[in-house]
Structure formats: structure tokens, C-alpha cells
Amino acid sequence: MKNYLSEKPDGYRIAPSPTGYVHLGTIAMALVNSYLARQNHGRFYLRIEDTDSKRYVADAVEKMMTTFNYFDVKFAETYVQSERAKIYQQYAEDLVKQGKAYYCFCTEDDLNQMRETQIKNGEPTGYYGKYAKCRHLSPDEVARRIAAGEPHVIRANFSYQDWGERITFTDAARGEIALLPQTNDPVIMKSNGLPPYNLAHVIDDTLMGTALVVRGEEWLISTAEHMQLCDLLGFPRLHYMHMPTINIEENGKKRKLSKRKDPQALVMNLIDAGYPKNAIIEYLLTIYNSDFEIWRTANPNAPLTDFQFSIQKVGTNNPLFDLPKFNDIAKNVWARQSHAEIVANFNAWNWQSLPNITPTIKTRIEKMLGVERGGERPRKDLIKFEDIADLYSYLWDEITVDGSTLDGQMLKNYAEIYDAADDKDTWWQKIKNLAPDKPTLRNLAAQIRLAVTGKTNTPDLWAICQILGNDIVKARLTRW
């Protein structure tokens, strides 16, 4: 048989199943693996795990690729499992020839009956020992039944060798692990000629030369089975790191982020809401490497690729998705951008989704994004573009103002001398000239702000008035 074995196990990969939109966890895996590949001078590759046709979603691969492109995730190689059926079949059949696997003709009904018997007898359920009846079919019978077109699968024969008490290995994040060997003979080739995850994973990660299989902790328990398959195939056992799952707290209980219940589980929802992509990346790095925040504080403007990802810091605790924390990171990411950068991001975002947006309002927003930007203490008010309609509501022509406390005459007096052509000092001097003392000045400034913006707290009011222009400012001052 052809030797496909990779000579250089220097690969890091993500192996998503195309089930729909990209989960935050997939971006996390992509991020972690691309750091590891870069730091270890390895390849970073993509494997699309589409052998479970029940879960296949037609345009899911395209959607996935769009998301990866958006995050600038670049792959050295791309593999699609359904195109590799022949390779898996060859290995499975080779195992059969060696007595390490066998054809199984048991039907759903047979398996259900067996289960019932096992439950009735208080025995463990599964395909093992005396219940593994297809283990002992004669080659003639097998040939005859295959020739007759009987549906069949291939099962690994785990009675082929003695696995000892425990299968032990070192998980890169969790340290020493000892698992009970699997005693059930698992299906390694389905009746449709495609392998389940177990065989495809072991063959692919071996042939593709994966240095470290980084995957979700939900796979930890099946690692024994995967190592047993490596042994049967005569492959060196693979190395693993099982990553903690991102959880969410609901009614005091922790559960996995669910793509059905939690909008933040799907990265495209976060992007559609107008979060910066680097906030997603920085948040995931914060979750998986406890010292990322310290590094970011010390290096506020360094490119993210300068950060050294450390396997030792991955940990085993399942982190909670912490929205206030995520929002805070988003504010800092926007605050670090130049005016040109944030405007470019705003234009790339679906700004048409803002309510009643017109070209004039869009131009005001673009100007507004430059207010109090840069400098020592840039303004940190923006979390996501979707919020702009609330946050900067005064940029729209119609605004709601609670005018009950406004002094109409005072504002009219001010409107007469307001001039958008005034520079900031002149503007402030004019306001001061109308106020005989400090409390009056404070009151007048607050009244102007409220009348012009409908808010008690805004960025630089002079700049906002500049953006709105004489007519709008004066109209808003003289309504009371």
C-alpha cells in the first residue's frame, strides 16, 4: 500500500464541519492555531470535515471562507474530507486484511435488539465481546454478503490487542491524562463509503503532519479511541491540546454558547452589529491567554502578531463570555484607530442598516467619528456601529429633547450670536459673555447642550455644532 505518511509533522489546523455560520469557537481555534504555526514555523491548514452528510449545509463552506477572509485567516493548504473517501477506504480495507477491522452487517434493528438485551441484563451497551457477532464471520460469508449487496459498515476490532488498564497521554493544556480504553468496536467506515470523525481524524492528522491537534474539550473522552486507532493503523500516536469551551451564564447556570440562543456565538452577528474584528480577536486572546491583557496594556499599538501565545497559559477552566469586558475591549480598539481608519471601517460596515440614514447624515457621522480622536486620552464611547443611532442621535434631523427645564429666552439670546464660523475659543468666549457668574455659565452650557443634542453628556459640543451647521443649531436653540 502507498505510504502517504507526512515526513514533517509541523502542521496546525482547524477542522470545522460546514454546518452553517462560523461559531466564535472556530475563530478561537483559528487564532490559536495560527499563532502556534507562526511561532513554531509550521504550516497552518484548513480541513473541511464534511463526511457527516446529514449536517451538511449547501453554502456553508462559502460562508465560512467569507468569514475567514474577513479575519485575514490564511491557510497554507485546504483539504475537503469528502474528496478523500478513497484514502480512508484504502486504510480501512487494509485493517480488515490484517484482522484489525471487520465488515459488519448488523442492521439498525439488530443493534436496537442487542441494546435492549444488554439493558435488560444490566450489561454495558455497545458492540463488544460476545455481542460483536460480525467479528467472527468467515471470509467466504463476508464475500458472499458483500456480493449480494447487503449494506455494511467496517468496525475496528478492539479485541485485536491488549490495551492495558489505561490509555495515558500528556495533553498540552491539561497535563497527564489517563483514560479507560474503548472496548466497543467503533464504526470506522459507514455504509455510504465515508468514515466517521474517528478514522478520518486519525488518518488525516497523521498524513497531513499535524504537530498538535488543538480541538474542543468535548473530544477529550474519545482520545483513547483515537489513540487505539493510531495503534491499529501503525501510526505514531498524535499529540493533543483540548481547549476549554466558551460558556455563558444563564439563570445562575453555566452552559455552552449556543448558536441558536446566543447571538454572540456566531461571529458574523458581532460583525453585523459593527464590532471591530480586532475586538473579537483581542477578546479571544484574553480568554485563552491570561497574560494577553498585560501585554496589550504595555504595548497598546503593537500589531497583534507580536504577541507570544503560550500553551502553558491556556488552562482548563471554561471561560464565561463576558459582555461588559468584550464591550470594553471594543471601545479600546476603536479608540486606538485613526480617523481615516475608523471611517474606512464604518464604510465597509453595513451603514445602510442605520435607521433613516441619508447621505447628509452619513457625512455627519463620518465627521463625528473624528471628534476627540487621537491624542493622549482619546474618547472611548463607541462600542459598535449599530449603537450610533442612539449614541449620536443628534446627528439626525429630528431629535427628541425633554425641554421642560430649558430657558427659551436665554437660548434665543444665545442663538442670535452663535456662528458656526467661530473657532472654539471665540465660541466659548461668546457663551461666557452671556453668563455673569460660574453657576449661570454652567447652566447655560448645559442648556445649550441639551437643546442642541437632547443629551446631558456628549463629546465636544463645539465640534458637534460645527458638524450640524448654523441652521440646525439655531433652529434647535430657538424652539423653546
What is the Cα–Cα distance from 315 to 459, expressed in whole angstroms?
41
Query: Least separation, in Å, of the C-beta of 16 and ligand GLU?
Result: 5
Query: Least separation, in Å, of the C-beta of 310 and ligand GLU?
Result: 20
Q: How many residues does the chain have?
A: 480
Answer for the pair 157, 99: CB distance below 8 angstroms, yes or no: yes
Query: Least separation, in Å, of the C-beta of 41 and ligand GLU?
Result: 22
What is the Cα–Cα distance from 218 to 239, expressed in whole angstroms?
16
Angle at 394 between CA 393 and CA 396, to 5 degrees: 80
Answer for the pair 225, 298: CB distance below 8 angstroms, yes or no: no
Answer for the pair 79, 204: CB distance below 8 angstroms, yes or no: yes
Query: Least separation, in Å, of the C-beta of 294 and ligand GLU?
Result: 29
Indicate the residue among 129 and 236 with the shorter CB distance to ligand GLU.
Answer: 236
Task: Name which of 219, 227, 206 is nearest 164 in CA terms.
Answer: 227
Query: Least separation, in Å, of the C-beta of 240 and ligand GLU?
Result: 9
Query: Least separation, in Å, of the C-beta of 239 and ligand GLU?
Result: 13
Indicate the residue among 19 and 184 with the shorter CB distance to ligand GLU.
Answer: 19
What is the Cα–Cα distance from 381 to 134, expressed in whole angstroms?
67
Which spans of this chain sit near ligand GLU (rule: CB under 6 A)?
15-17, 49, 201, 213, 215-216, 219
Task: Name which of 229, 145, 219 is nearest 187 in CA terms.
Answer: 229
Task: Name which of 249, 330, 250, 248 is nearest 286 in CA terms.
Answer: 330
Indicate the residue among 17 and 182 with the shorter CB distance to ligand GLU.
Answer: 17
Answer for the pair 238, 232: CB distance below 8 angstroms, yes or no: no
Query: Least separation, in Å, of the C-beta of 365 and ligand GLU?
Result: 39
Q: Retrieve residue 381's grid coordinates.
A: 464611547
Indicate the residue among 132 and 213 with the shorter CB distance to ligand GLU.
Answer: 213
Indicate the residue among 159 and 170 with the shorter CB distance to ligand GLU.
Answer: 170
Q: Retrieve residue 101's grid coordinates.
A: 477491522
Query: Least separation, in Å, of the C-beta of 195 and ligand GLU?
Result: 12
Indicate the residue among 239 and 325 with the shorter CB distance to ligand GLU.
Answer: 239
Q: How far, in Å, are 29, 109, 172 from residue 214 at the CA level?
A: 7, 37, 9
Residue nearest to ligand GLU (CB): 215
Helix, coil or strand: residue 393 = helix
Considering only the C-alpha atoms of the chain, give the largest distance between any 2 of them, rounded to a whole number of Å: 108
Indicate the residue among 29 and 395 with the shorter CB distance to ligand GLU.
Answer: 29
Query: Least separation, in Å, of the C-beta of 17 and ligand GLU?
Result: 4
CB atoms within 10 A of CB 357: 16
Task: Name which of 184, 258, 171, 253 is nearest 213 in CA terms.
Answer: 171
Indicate the residue among 260 and 377 with the shorter CB distance to ligand GLU.
Answer: 260
Indicate the residue among 220 and 320 with the shorter CB distance to ligand GLU.
Answer: 220
